[in-house]
Amino acid sequence: MAGQVLSTGAATDNAKGAHPILCTFDVTTPRGNPALAAFLHNGQWIDATQEERRDIVIKDLCRFFGDEAANYLDYADKIWNDESYSGGCPTAIIPAGNMEAFTHIREPFKLIHFAATEAATVWPGYMCGAVQSGLRAANEVIWHCRPEAVNKEMLKDTIYDKDFESLTVPQPETYGSAGKNQWPRRIVFGAVLILGILAFSKKYKLSHMAR
């Protein structure tokens, strides 16, 4: 059993008129501590007490996972509408047809690389997805600026993933400080080099004549 549920919130005889759970996810920790995360119908249970929400959620979990779900160790919930910085729940379900275009929202446009929770390949719509997407975009930029510092694992889920071995790295003139026009510096360096050679030659000639 995966611990994942997707529900339409069918009608029921509880006070709110519908089952509370929309979906659940298995959020077992890396240390193996089992846990489930669930999302409830927006707005229908905000005014209820935490005890009321707990009772109806556990009852709904038993509907999906059996009576054993009532033997839980702990319960906690959060009303995300109260969070002033996040402003509510994660992103909504992607509309039909968008899956075909999903990879395109991660494609760079010239020197611009895109990162957002909506562009994540893991946990899109969540903070975890935002972090993963940001790391992916950063690795893409590093690949262009310092390709020797990037390995195949770092380019996983990027548009360069499949072609890592054969990918031709763009010339450094297109990225970062190396993208600036190098000709003025080259001219100055060449002029200094020529003057140095002339000065050395003149000094060597005078020294040779003195002998």
Q: Can you list the pairs that 125-132 forms with residues at least 24 positions away whose Cβ atoms lie under 8 Å? A: 125/90, 125/91, 125/92, 126/90
Ranges assigned E (strand) in 86-168: none
Q: How confident is the model at residue 157 (pLDDT cuts 50, 70, 90)?
A: confident
173 is an annotated ligand-binding site residue:
no
Show the 3-state SS of 8-57: CCCECCCCCCECCEEEEEECCCCCCCCCEEEEECCCCCCCCCHHHHHHHH
- What pLDDT is stored for residue 206 in this prediction? 42
* Closest listed residue to residue 23, CA positions, set 2, 36, 4: 4
Q: How confident is the model at residue 179 (pLDDT cuts 50, 70, 90)?
A: very low
| pTM beyond 0.85 | no
pLDDT tens digits along 19-33: 788 888 888 888 999
- Dig out the tokens for 101 from the structure: 């275009």
118 is an annotated ligand-binding site residue:
yes
Q: What is the mean pLDDT of residues 144-165?
A: 77
Domain range list for the chain: 5-70, 90-181
Rounded to 5 degrees, φ, ψ at 5 are: -130, 140
Higher pLDDT, 180 or 20: 20
Residue in the block written with tokens 């038993």: 62
Q: How confident is the model at residue 73 (pLDDT cuts 50, 70, 90)?
A: very high
Q: What is the mean pLDDT of residues 73-95?
A: 75
Q: Is the pLDDT of residue 54 over 90?
A: yes
- Mean pLDDT is lowest, of 88-92, 131-135, 146-150, 176-180, for 176-180
For the beta sheet containing 5-6, the strands, ordered from the edge strand earlier in sequence to the opposite edge, are 5-6, 21-26, 36-40
- What pLDDT is stored for residue 27 in this prediction? 87
pLDDT tens digits along 115-137: 888 888 888 888 888 899 999 99
Higher pLDDT, 82 or 177: 82
Residue in the block written with tokens 């080099």: 193
